[in-house]
Amino acid sequence: MASSSREIAVDMSPFFRLFTDGTIDRLPPPFKVPTSDRPGATVRSRDVEIDRETGLSVRIFAPGHPAPPQKLPLVVYIHGGAFCMGSASAAAFHTFISTVVEKGHVIAVSVNYRLAPENPLPIPFDDSWTAFQWIAAHAGGIGADSWLNKYADFRRVFIGGESAGATIANDVAIRAGVSGRFDGVEILGLFFVHPFFGNKEEDKLYQTLCPTSSGRDDDPRLNPAVDPRIGKMAGRRVIFFVAEKDFFRDGGRNYYEGLKRSAWTGEVEIMESEGEGHCFHLFNPCTDKAAAITDRLVAFLNTA
């Protein structure tokens, strides 16, 4: 009876409902994919806990062949889910990054940050920054994880994600650039797939999760082009993926244009999927348009 009396703050059915008392109902039962390191697997995966106190972990994806002729580009991947849903083991995210690893011949680390509202913003941002620092500590080949020491080329690092994950990835790139303290790590590119960036209208979900934010494009996390630190953002190139019918399309395009005008001096490109909505490639990964996103991203990782 208690749950029926709660007042809904944000209704994102059929995905989740956020209540004014700070609780959430995640509506679909989560389907999680187990890790696999079996012989002959196209892509291998393993989970690694990096902070016992908070439970922060990552899922590492590596190509199936045990000894590549040279070290591989490293992708730091941050999953979406409106800061409220998903995990590195969720089927949609696991499958997407596995495909990128297979097609792109890269190694990837998917960050399993803690979810809001149980872990209020900016905890997902801070968790992802902690994870990046743990990853970067392997640049000298003496880190705690044998796969990263063996496979990863830290001179070819990429950071990105989709939806809320893109927002977090951008924050990590700014922090990395401002800190300037990662010897042996070179961030070549950033990728934002259907990013959760703001515009002039208040985003009620974000404002509820982060009451100190306006929920609009004057918040540097929702519109990093207004962040005074933007000129120091890590990365030489950024690629945006937007979709014509995505409710976040304008926010992504606005940041694309703002980044070109900002003090950051890298290269920016954009790809738009006509007639499609938010993160369609995760829900329908077998379509030609979904494949086009993966192929463009793989080309970016292989040329940036």
d(CA 39, CA 65): 9
Task: Give the residue numbers marked as catalytic.
Answer: 163, 246, 278
Band of pLDDT at residue 4, cut at 50, 70 and 90: low
- Residue that is written with structure tokens 């008392």 in the block: 21
In Å, what is the CA distance from 148 to each residue of 33, 135, 154, 279? 21, 8, 9, 29
Q: Which fold has domain 38-303?
A: Rossmann fold (3.40.50)
Band of pLDDT at residue 231, cut at 50, 70 and 90: very high
Within 8 A by CB and 6+ apart from 207, the residues are 213, 214, 215
Sign of CA dihedral 33, 39, 45, 47: positive
Degrees, nearest 5: CA angle 251-91-59: 90
pLDDT at 1: 37
Q: What are phi and psi of 17, to 5 degrees?
A: -130, 125
Q: Give kind and range of the element (H or E) at residue 260.
A: helix 249-261
* Cα torsion through 46, 51, 52, 53, rounded to 10: -150
Nearest C-alpha neighbor of 291 from the set 99, 104, 73: 99
pLDDT at 3: 47
Average pLDDT value for residue range 39-44: 87
pLDDT at 40: 78
Band of pLDDT at residue 5, cut at 50, 70 and 90: low
Within 8 A by CB and 6+ apart from 212, the residues are none
- Residue that is written with structure tokens 């960050």 in the block: 111
Q: What are phi and psi of 102, to 5 degrees?
A: -65, -50
Average pLDDT value for residue range 208-237: 95
**209-237: burial string, b at 16+ Cβ within 10 Å, e else:** bbeebebbbebbbbbbbebeebebbbbeb
Which residues make up the CATH 3.40.50.1820 domain(s) of the chain?
A: 38-303
pLDDT at 67: 67
What is the three-class DSSP state of 118?
coil
- For residue 29, pLDDT over 80 is answered with no
Share of the chain above pLDDT 70, in %: 97
Chain segment 98-115, per-residue pLDDT in tens? 999 999 999 999 999 999
